[in-house]
Structure formats: structure tokens, C-alpha cells
Amino acid sequence: MQHSEASRKRILIVEDEPAICQLCLRTLTGDGFDVDIAVNGMVAQDMLAKKEYDLCLLDIRTPVMNGKELYQHIKEERPEFAGKVIFTTGDIMNSKLEPFLKEASRLYLPKPFTPHELRTVVRQALK
């Protein structure tokens, strides 16, 4: 799939697990997206201040600044971008997480996920 530079969508992946980062990077760049990776919410916050993104895949549990904290920052500082967040989590059974996901009313992708599941949720979010 060929894309001109101007039409390529930019996706920020906020993830601290190298295997998940590689899966996202391979899958999404292979599908023609520009992908940047931040290892935690603090790094992502800085990247969001410097570059425009079409979508953010945000792990809820990252060190330094977690996904909930970064999402709160996004809602306060860039509310128009809050609707472009997809959460990822390996902790879907956590009873404290369910109310947060319901309140945020955002798409989420439980880990581990396949390239197909990743593509599906990204396409759904970009509609």
C-alpha cells in the first residue's frame, strides 16, 4: 500500500513492552502509517507537544506517567485529541480499570493482541 507523505496518518504508541512495540511498529508501518513510540506517558506528553498525531495507542500501565495520567493531561490540554486515544491493557480483569474504561468511553485493545486485532481497532478509530 503506497501513501504519499502528506496522506500518511501518524500514530503515537505509548508502550513499555518491547515485544508489543515491535508488533505495533511492524504492523502499522507495514500498513503505511508513520509510527512513533514513547516508552511512558511523560515521553509521550513531550512528543504530543511537538508533533501532531492522528491517533494514540496508549498502554494504561506504563512507568513514570501511566496511561490514565496521560489521558487526563490530554483531556485538559488537548481535548480535541482525547477522542483519538485507544487504550491497551494486559490488566483487563482489574476491577478498578473497568469503571475507568467505561467513563473514558474509548476503544480499548486487551493484550496480548494480534496484528489483525490491532489493524481492526485502528481502522475503527480512524473512521
Is the confidence at residue 15, as pLDDT, over 90? yes
pLDDT (tens digit, 9 = 90+) per residue, 26-57?
999 999 999 999 999 999 999 999 999 999 99
Domain ranges of the chain: 7-126
Topology of the domain covering 7-126? Rossmann fold (3.40.50)
CA nearest to 24, candidates 67, 88, 72: 88
- What pLDDT is attached to residue 60? 94
Give the type of residue at 92: I
CA nearest to 70, candidates 126, 110, 12: 12
Helix (H, G, I), strand (E, B) or coil at 122: helix
pLDDT (tens digit, 9 = 90+) per residue, 76-117?
999 999 999 999 998 766 777 888 888 899 999 999 999 999
Q: What value, to the nearest 5°, has the Cα angle with vertex 117 and ends 114 and 119?
A: 110
